[in-house]
Amino acid sequence: MTAFDYHDGALHAEGIAITDIAARVGTPFYCYSTAALTDQYEAFANAMSNLDTTICYAVKANSNQAVIRTFADLGAGADVVSEGELRRALAAGVPADRIIFSGVGKTRDELTYALAQSIHKINVESEPELRVLGELAAGRGAEIGIRVNPDVDAKTHAKISTGRADNKFGIDISRAREIFAKAAATPGIKPVSVAVHIGSQLTDLAPLRAAYTSVAELVGVLRADGHDIDSIDLGGGIGIRYKDEAPPSFAEYAAIVQETTGNLGCRLFVEPGRSLVGNAGILVTRVIYDKQGQARRFVIVDAAMNDLVRPAMYDAYHGIRTVRKTAPSATKTTADIVGPICETGDTFARARRLPSLQPNDLLAFDSAGAYGAVMASTYNTRLLIPEILVKGTEFSVVRTRPSYDELLKLDQLAKWQ
C-alpha cells in the first residue's frame, strides 16, 4: 500500500484511516506520511551516493519542525532563506554546520545572527550584500558562496523561475569574476563556493544541464584567477507529478550532475524541497454544501484559499478524491470545488467529475505536502489548520489549530481606544 491509498473502502495514511484522524482533530487538516518523506529522501540520497554530496532540505517547501526533524534524523542539512527558517532548522535539530543561508534580502540582523550561529555557509546574492557581510564578518572571518544568475530559462511557471536575467536572484554570471575578486579582497571574507538555483517544479533536465555547465566552466575560470573553489551549490528544483507531468527521476538528475560537475573535485550541495515533501502530504477537507447553481455545480468545502493558495496563485492543479471510495457504478457530474472565502478566486478546481456529495463527506487534495501549510494565512479571520504526521499506525498533531481567542489576542487596540 502506498502512503495514501484505499483500504476497506476508505482512504488511509499509511496504516490509519483518514476518517479516524478527521473524527479526532476536525477538518480541514494537512496530513504527512513519515514513510513517504523517508522513501523520497533515501531515494535521492541513493541516487547521489557516488558523488560527494550534502543534501540540504529546502525548508521553504514545508517548514513544520516535525518534517525538518524527520529529514535531520536521516542526515539532512537545511537550506534556509530567513532568520525564522534558520531558527526553525536549529530548533528541529539540524546541525549549524549543515545549514546554508540563501535569499536576496538578508538584513543586517539576519546576517549577524547567521554568523553568530557559525552556520556552514552564507550564499551572497548581490554586491551590496557582500559589502554588508564584509563589515559584519571583519575580525571573525567567513567562508561564503556567491550565487550566480546564469540567465537560463527553467521552463517552469514564471512566478517560480529564478535563473533568468530579469529575475531578482543572484549576480549576473557575466560579473562573477569581478564580484569574486571583490569578495577575496574583502577582509574577513573568503569566497569558496559557487551557487546556482534556476527555479522550481522543473520537469525537463535540459535547463539544469545548461546552468550546471555554465557553473562548471566558471569554476575553472575562478580557479585560474587564484580562487580556492572547493564546493558548488546546485540548488533544487526537481518537479513532481501533480497531474500528468513526467518529472525526471533522481537517477537521471544525478547523471546530469555527474556529467557536468563530476570531474571538478568539488563538494556538492543540493537543496531539494518539493521533490521530497510534495507527494508526501494531502489536505483533508469536509463538504459543507453541494450546490447546484443555474450554470454550474459547486462543491463548497471547509478548506479555503488561505489554507492552500497554490490554485489561486499559480492556477495549480491538485488531484481531488473522496475519502470514502466511490463505487465504479456511481454517477458523476462535473463540479467546481470552492472554499467559503469571499473571493471568486477561492476556487480549488473547475469541472472535476465527482459523485453526489452530502454535507460532512470528506475529500482529499493530493500532492499538498509542499507550499501548502507553509503559505497559509488567517485571511477572513480563519484559523490556521492542524498539521498531522503519520508513522505506521500512529499519528501526531505537529501543529495545533489555534483558538479564536488566541488569534484575536495577536491584535491590540490603540492606546487611546
Give me the residues paired with residue 290 across strands: 299
Active site residues: 342
Task: Work out whether strand 347-355 and strand 332-338 pair parallel, antiparallel, or are unpaired.
Answer: antiparallel
pLDDT tier at 256 (50, 70, 90 boundaries)?
Answer: very high
pLDDT in tens, 347-404: 999 999 999 999 999 999 999 999 999 999 999 999 999 999 999 999 999 999 999 9
Taking 60 as the threshold, does the pLDDT of residue 91 lie above it?
A: yes
pLDDT at 162: 57
Task: Work out whether strand 362-365 and strand 320-322 pair parallel, antiparallel, or are unpaired.
Answer: antiparallel
Q: Cβ distance 216 to 261 under 8 Å?
A: yes
> Which range is least confidently modeled, 75-79, 265-269, 325-329?
325-329
Give me the residues paired with residue 100 across strands: 79, 121
pLDDT tier at 151 (50, 70, 90 boundaries)?
Answer: confident
Task: Work out whether strand 387-391 and strand 29-33 pair parallel, antiparallel, or are unpaired.
Answer: parallel
- Average predicted confidence (pLDDT) for the chain: 94
What is the Cα–Cα distance from 292 to 414, expressed in whole angstroms?
45
pLDDT in tens, 158-209: 554 455 566 667 899 999 999 999 999 999 999 999 999 988 888 999 999 9
| Mean pLDDT value across residues 262-279 | 96
In CATH, the number for domain 34-277 is 3.20.20.10
Give Cα separations from 362 to 20, 27, 28, 285, 332 (angstroms): 11, 9, 9, 6, 16
Alpha helices in 16-126 (DSSP H): 18-25, 34-47, 65-73, 83-91, 108-116
DSSP letters for 69-93: HHHHHTT-EEEESSHHHHHHHHHTT
CATH architecture of the region 4-32+281-408: Beta Barrel (2.40)
pLDDT tier at 328 (50, 70, 90 boundaries)?
Answer: confident
> Which range is least confidently modeled, 92-96, 184-188, 285-289?
184-188
Taking 80 as the threshold, does the pLDDT of residue 270 lie above it?
A: yes
Whose cell is 535540459? That residue is 206
DSSP 393: T
Q: Cβ distance 302 to 285 under 8 Å?
A: yes
Taking 50 as the threshold, does the pLDDT of residue 316 lie above it?
A: yes
Return the closest-CA partner of residue 111 out of 120, 97, 122.
122
pLDDT at 1: 45
Give Cα separations from 173 to 151, 203, 218, 250 (angstroms): 8, 24, 8, 27
Taking 50 as the threshold, does the pLDDT of residue 116 lie above it?
A: yes
Q: Which amino acid appears at position 251 of this protein?
A: A
Q: Matching CATH topology for 4-32+281-408 and 34-277?
A: no
pLDDT at 167: 67
pLDDT at 157: 55
Q: Which amino acid appears at position 343 of this protein?
A: E
Tell me the three cell numbers of residue 341: 472565502
Q: Where are the domains of the chain?
A: 4-32+281-408, 34-277
Taking 80 as the threshold, does the pLDDT of residue 283 lie above it?
A: yes
Indicate the angle between helix axes 127-137 and 176-184, nearest 10 degrees: 10
CB count in 10 Å sphere of residue 315: 9
pLDDT at 166: 66
Q: Please give the share of the chain, as a percent, with pLDDT higher than 90.
A: 89
76 CB-near residues (< 8 Å, 6+ apart): 41, 55, 56, 57, 94, 98
